A = this chain, B = another copy of it.
């Protein structure tokens, strides 16, 4: 029965009927589909945030999962609907870069969806999530071959995630990608940016965020005194600034987009 899971990652929020109508449009094509919410609270129109959300979740799902990713400020324009296959899974999304982090990590085949007979009979100009993408996901979950939906393309939109800047061998400048529910700051710094830390005798580290200097690297959130702010390599694969049972964002007075300086040694 693998192959009938359809996940949803959108900026549609929870207060409207939009997600419900999409679920209906999937189930109307395939009542056996298993619709799973990943996240609907991506900031409206924020393609980078949508890209981040799906990139943090897709790899934990089983082979043949179908991921619908709908952050679609260009709905109704000429931006194309895409179907993307990787070795294991399938993605359906608008051609606006929201799958960029998937493109960066996976071998993909990208199709431009043009087979309108898989869409709702009447397609609005304002809600392709319901009228185009949801029914396509429904048909995919009924094992229709990806190649039936359109021709492969190579000129799809993609962007590079904001990378930290190397000022010199010892100094790096990164940025806060997002603040999570716990007030933890997720930066764009990865272990690959800081190979020195994996050395046998790692150098000391100083992290500057807002007006605060952090020198402590922990290995779990619960180390140290309650409220203490520290750095940690997080479950996301990024360097995080966190606090034990408290909000680092609040403690430091910084949020998304804040600069993060790293000085080694």
List chain A positions with a Cβ less than 8 A from chain B. 1-2, 5, 7, 9, 11-25, 27-28, 31-32, 35-41, 44-45, 52-54, 56-62, 65, 73-77, 79, 124-127, 130-131, 180-183, 219-223, 232, 234-235, 240, 244-245, 247
Given B17, B59, B65, B247, which contacts A56 in the complex, CB threshold below 8 Å? B17
B234 touches A57 (CB 8 A): no
B39 touches A15 (CB 8 A): yes
B contact residues around A79 at 8 Å (CB) = 222
A13 to chain B, nearest CB (A): 4
B contact residues around A61 at 8 Å (CB) = 23-24, 27-28
Most B CB contacts (10 A, CB to CB) among A2, A16, A31, A182 go to A16
A198 to chain B, nearest CB (A): 15
- Knowing A16-B180, A31-B5, A235-B126, the reply to whether A76 touches B24 (Cβ < 8 A) is no
- Knowing A1-B32, A14-B41, A181-B12, the reply to whether A57 touches B219 (Cβ < 8 A) is no
A245 touches B73 (CB 8 A): yes
Q: How far is the CA of A75 from the CA of B39 in the complex (A)?
A: 23
B contact residues around A23 at 8 Å (CB) = 7, 36-38, 61
B17 touches A39 (CB 8 A): yes
B60 touches A28 (CB 8 A): yes
A40 touches B14 (CB 8 A): yes
Closest to A246 in B: B45
Given B24, B62, B182, B235, which contacts A44 in the complex, CB threshold below 8 Å? B182
- The 5 A-B residue pairs with the shortest CB-CB distance, nearest first, are A76-B220, A20-B38, A24-B60, A127-B235, A13-B181
A45 touches B245 (CB 8 A): yes
B contact residues around A235 at 8 Å (CB) = 124, 126-127, 130-131
A44-B183, A73-B245 given; 19 more Cβ-contact pairs under 8 Å: A5-B27, A16-B39, A16-B53, A17-B39, A17-B54, A19-B37, A20-B37, A20-B57, A21-B56, A21-B57, A21-B60, A23-B61, A24-B36, A24-B59, A24-B60, A28-B62, A44-B181, A74-B222, A77-B223
A20 touches B126 (CB 8 A): no
B57 touches A17 (CB 8 A): yes
Q: How far is the CA of A22 from the CA of B219 in the complex (A)?
A: 21
Q: How far is the CA of A45 from the CA of B222 in the complex (A)?
A: 11
- Knowing A28-B61, A53-B17, the reply to whether A221 touches B73 (Cβ < 8 A) is yes
B contact residues around A74 at 8 Å (CB) = 222
Can you name 22 A-B residue pairings with CB atoms under 8 Å?
A7-B20, A14-B39, A15-B39, A16-B180, A17-B39, A17-B54, A20-B53, A23-B36, A24-B36, A27-B65, A28-B60, A28-B61, A44-B247, A73-B222, A75-B220, A75-B222, A76-B222, A76-B223, A126-B235, A126-B240, A130-B235, A131-B235
